[in-house]
Structure 1
Amino acid sequence: MVTFTKISNLGALLLPTLFAFPGANAHGQIKGVLANGVYNNGPNIYWDADPVNEQTAVRKMYQAGGPSYVLPQDFNDNSKMACEGAAGAPKTIVASAGSVVRVDWVGATGELDGKPGTGNVPAGQNPWVHAMGTVASYIAECPNGDCATYDASQGSWVKLAMFGIDRTETISPDLRETMQNKPEEYYPTSGTSGLWGMARFVQAGSSWTVTIPEGLANGHYILRQELGAVHNPWNAQDNTSGTQLYIGCIQMEITNGGNTKLPQGTKAGSLYATNSAFARYDVYEDNGRSFVDPGPALWPSSYAKREEHSNHTSAEISARCSAGEKQEKRMRKVKRSIQYPSA
């Protein structure tokens, strides 16, 4: 674990171990969550002493110098597949049963910063980098009533929603052109319909919504948000290839609920097989023609994946910009003050 020592009131930092900001292996994290009209900022992975880390309900997905996603060889690992092995966050957010929760993500690199087709991303915030892949939501109850101390690897995960590919729609011309230039060309190719959940997510300003089931019993739960990027197909000779899962966990208290209990779910390490079609999907060869949503069935079965698409009003976007602005400025200030070790 990377730790930092504060050496002045201005927040100058001393790195005790070799450290580099995320590059090829770190493509972003959850920036914040809006529930019941209250915004909760995600953690600062660059500076452990940031006060935001004492107020967040979002588990720290990864340390700044470590991998930020799970590859197929670890799809059977209950801990990595639950919350990327993250320990509990200090806080919990409140969400009413039947309400919509919005999850904002931020990219770790600026490859798509200011590019057409990336939605209303607040100034100074990087959009998510990839546009091919799935977006899914799972939920598990914290049976001890305290998600901060709950071992998520023991969770029984129930799938609330998944958006794989909609063959009746297609990516916007602006985002297609942006992805053509960097970082990878979008498939299905031009002239072939097919809108990936991740493309919809990027077009919506790197933000997604999920509906908490109406009537769900009051209690403490973890909402697991998963992005499944398929831009780097599996290659038997390359252990860094295959579908990349970016997994963020949000600790929640559900209120105003009913008597509906979650059904028996699935251990995180059993959601997708290590050699499944999802793990080894080749988007460039298939061109989106035969992709099938992976994993367990949706619950409740009447919930359609459409419930997770993101269409934000200008008021919502303004609220997100305001709520995240201070955190973004703080993180930029921290980055400027870091002293890099010599090579």
Structure 2
Amino acid sequence: MPSSLSIAAFAAPLIQLAAAHGYVSGVTVNGGSWVDGSNPNWYYQPEGTAPDTPGWKALNQDNGFVSPDAYDTNDIACHKSATPGETYITASAGDTLTLYWNTWPDTHHGPVLNYLAECSGECTAATADGLSFTKISEAGLLSGSNPGTWATDTLIANNFTADVIIPGSLAAGNYVLRHEIIALHSAASANGAQSYPQCLNIQVGGSGSTALPAGEPATDFYSSADPGILFSLYTAFTSYTIPGPDVWTA
């Protein structure tokens, strides 16, 4: 597992492009070996020279986001013009994946959400518009207001990491994990929320027998007027409604 120093060094070129935001640079399973995610800067490498990884590759070289006016496009699934990763993270039902963001700004408070979609065949041949996702976990406002303490603050405090537990009864198969942060610092204005979806291929083993629910396409998750999307972070509030479908509790 790389140290925080090595993660920062890996991220330095992208931070020069945009001194904020981030991407999932790698993953470990149950604290084991490091598996690369997807670095947007690979887009600038000569064709065929970028490494094959489980992370979906997207046109987010500006380290940017998907805005509410694009919620009805496939960009909201796995980021802008995303294409599937070439390999898989290997895990079993019940395992804990630790996702490492290269960085995340402490001003970008908001929820962290996780979804799974089962692939029809190989996820390496999937398309963003062919995935139907089921939400498996979420975290949002933890305490306080204006702006309060959020799931993103926990991510930063934990060395820019977020844990995702694969449902313990999940049937073996090929899945896409959709991991997302929604930054709310500008969400008081229409079209101000910022979604940062990240997708990775996972090959799940084990003896689980529960099928993932049918789910829904990412284009059905949110609308620009949802209370968790149009939200005034820098005012007094007592609660926050995490957007999207309900969490599957199998």
Do they superpose with TM above 0.5?
yes
Report deviation, 1:21: 5.5
The Cα RMSD (Å) is: 2.3
> Tell me, what secondary structure is at the counterpart of 2:228?
coil
Q: Does 1:98 align with 2:94?
A: yes
User: Structure 1 residues 52, 281: CA separation in 2 closer, same or farther (over 3 Å shift)?
Assistant: farther
Task: Give runs of ≥4 in structure 1 deviating > 3 Å.
Answer: 49-53, 127-131
Alignment match, 1:316: none
Cα distance change on mapping 1:76 and 1:69 into 2, 3 Å: same
The equivalent residue for 1:58 is 55
Deviation at 1:128? 4.0
Q: Is the 8 A contact 1:57 1:252 kept in 2?
A: yes
| More moved, 66-75 vs 248-257 | 66-75
Query: Which SS does the other structure have where 1:199 is aligned?
Result: helix
Provide the C-alpha distance between the structure 2 equivalents of 1:267 and 1:222, rounded to a whole number of angstroms.
Answer: 13
- Say whether the 8 Å CA contact 1:218–1:256 is kept in structure 2: yes
- Pairing of 1:97-246 with structure 2 (within 5 A): 97-107=93-103, 127-144=104-121, 146-167=122-143, 187-188=145-146, 194-236=148-190, 241-246=191-196
Per-residue deviation, residues 205-250 of structure 1 (Å, max 9, x unmatched) = 11000100012111100001000110012435xxxx5110111001
Percentage of pairs with the same residue:
29
Kindly indicate which of the two structures has a greater share of residues assigned to strand.
2
SS at match of 2:179: strand
Q: 1:233 to 1:44 in 2, by over 3 A?
A: closer
Equivalent position amino acid for 2:218 in 1? A
Q: Which amino acid aligns with 1:163?
A: A
1:49 deviates by: 4.3
In 2, the alpha carbon distance for the partners of 1:132 and 1:289 equals: 16
Structure 2: 5+ residue stretches without partners: 1-14
Distance in 2, matches of 1:138 and 1:30, equals: 15
Q: Secondary structure at the match of 2:222?
A: coil
1:83 aligned partner, one-letter code: C
1:296 to 231, 237, 245: 245
User: Where does the alignment leave 5 or more consecutive residues of structure 1 unmatched?
Assistant: 1-19, 108-126, 171-186, 302-343
* Max Rg structure: 1
Matched ranges for 1:255-274 at <5 A: 255-274=205-224
The alpha-carbon deviation at position 44 of structure 1 amounts to 3.1
* SS across alignment from 1:254: strand
Question: How far apart are the structure 1 equivalents of 2:137 and 2:204?
Answer: 18
* Maintained 8 Å contact 1:106/1:128: no
Query: Structure 1 length as normaliser, TM-score?
Result: 0.62
Whichever residue aligns with residue 158 of structure 1, its letter is T
In structure 2, relative to structure 1, the CA distance for the partners of 1:230 and 1:213 (3 Å cut) is same
Shift of 1:292: 1.2
CA distance in 2, matches of 1:157, 1:200: 25
**What do residues 12-36 of structure 1 show as CA deviations (whole Å, max 9, x unaligned)?**
xxxxxxxx96326x62111101125
TM-score, scaled relative to structure 2? 0.84
Aligned mates of 1:50, 1:209 — CA distance in 2 = 33
> 1:50, 1:163 → 2: CA distance?
38
One-letter identity of the residue aligned with 1:292: T
CA contact (8 A) 2:18 2:63 kept: no
**2:141 touches 2:239 (CA, 8 Å); kept in 1?**
no
1:279 shift after superposition: 2.0
* Counterpart secondary structure, 1:153: helix
**CA deviation profile, 1:244-277 (whole Å, cap 9, x unmatched):** 0111001010011321100121210111112212
Taking structure 1 as reference, are residues 81 and 282 closer, same or farther at Cα in structure 2, changes over 3 Å only?
same
